[in-house]
Amino acid sequence: MARVFITGSADGLGQLAARLLVEQGHQVVLHGRSPARAREALAGVPRAEGAVSGDLSHFAGTREVADQANQLGVFDAVIHNAGIGYREARRGTTADGLPPVLAVNSLAPYVLTCLMARPARLVYLSSGMHLRGDASLRDLTWAERPWNGAQAYSDSKLHDVLLALAVARRWPDVLVSAVSPGWVATKMGGPGANDSLAEAPVTQAWLASSQDPAALVTGKYWYHQQPATILPAAADRDLQDRFLAACAELTGVTFPVSV
């Protein structure tokens, strides 16, 4: 039995993955961006172990989530599911002066990875749209570029792949994966999505908990339990390291050295 923490699990794919894991007999801790959303998460998965709350759109809230999770002990796996979709990726700025899609999709998983007790497995939710991401890493905060929500989302999903591959290299004792759940009809995906909603949470739950030898690998990008193609630039170790350095500069949180 695995003990799994899932960010952004008040609804959508996070909650679907939580339900699947609980049905399989695993312990799950949920997350919502506010106490009210955390209660909604628990109402949707009443057999979950518990829920924490904190707004991942700003660093103070992300630190609160890390602190609450650490108080509950070490998890076997963390699924970094929380995200802002391409249809919701509006310009705006967070309390830290950053685009929300960058803060939630890119920087929050980085900060949580750095600050939470290291689990045995890490799963980062990406997207097939990462193939359209800008691998130059120029102007991550969109201070100079004309705003484009779809591009900002694609960039953030490329960041998740870069983060997963970088962590897999630096922490060889942890099984690290990135996952595309497909384009599915959640609140984020919208009603026009045509991929399988039933299959969408399966891969991340499998990677977080399964003893299947196929799941016990690291540094892969997955789609429906099969390794999938990444943007070739994402395999560049220098680019991965540059992304970690950019995250450290933007957040003030340095990636821990391997022990």
What would the mean pLDDT of 144-149 be, rounded to a whole number?
Answer: 94
Q: Is residue 257 part of a domain?
A: no
Q: Is residue 256 part of a domain?
A: no
Predicted TM-score (pTM) of the model is: 0.95
User: What is residue 85's predicted lDDT score, i.e. its pLDDT?
Assistant: 84
**For this structure, is 221 an active site residue?**
no
In tens, the pLDDT along 31-74 reads 999 999 999 999 999 999 999 999 999 999 999 999 999 999 99
Number of domains in the chain: 1
Q: Is residue 99 part of a domain?
A: yes
Burial 182-198 (b: 16+ CB within 10 A, else e): bbbebebbeeeeebeee
Q: Is residue 147 part of a domain?
A: yes
- Asked if the model's pLDDT at residue 9 lies above 70, the reply is yes
**For this structure, is 124 an active site residue?**
no
- Asked if the model's pLDDT at residue 183 lies above 70, the reply is no
In tens, the pLDDT along 81-100 reads 999 987 777 778 899 999 99
Q: Side chain identity at 24, as an amino acid letter? A: Q
Q: Is residue 9 part of a domain?
A: yes
Catalytic residue among 86, 157, 221, 223: 157
What would the mean pLDDT of 110-132 be, rounded to a whole number?
Answer: 98
Q: Is residue 137 part of a domain?
A: yes
- Asked if the model's pLDDT at residue 4 lies above 70, the reply is yes
User: What is residue 136's predicted lDDT score, i.e. its pLDDT?
Assistant: 98
First-to-last alpha carbon distance for the chain, in angstroms, is: 26
What is 111-176 written as a DSSP string?
Answer: HHHHHSPP-SEEEEE--GGGGGS-TT-TTTT-SSSPP-HHHHHHHHHHHHHHHHHHHHHH-TTSEE
User: What is residue 185's predicted lDDT score, i.e. its pLDDT?
Assistant: 44
CATH of the domain at 41: 3.40.50.720
Q: Is residue 259 part of a domain?
A: no
Could you tell me which residues come within 8 angstroms of residue 49 by beta carbon, excluding any fewer than 6 positions away?
Answer: 3, 27, 28, 29, 72
Q: Is residue 177 part of a domain?
A: yes
Catalytic residue among 86, 110, 124, 153: 153
In tens, the pLDDT along 184-227 reads 545 555 556 556 677 889 999 999 999 999 999 999 999 999 99
Domain limits at 201?
A: 3-251
To the nearest whole number, what is the mean pLDDT of the chain?
94
Residue 34's Cα: distance from chain center in Å?
Answer: 18
Secondary structure of residue 195 in the 3-state scheme:
coil
User: What is residue 227's predicted lDDT score, i.e. its pLDDT?
Assistant: 97
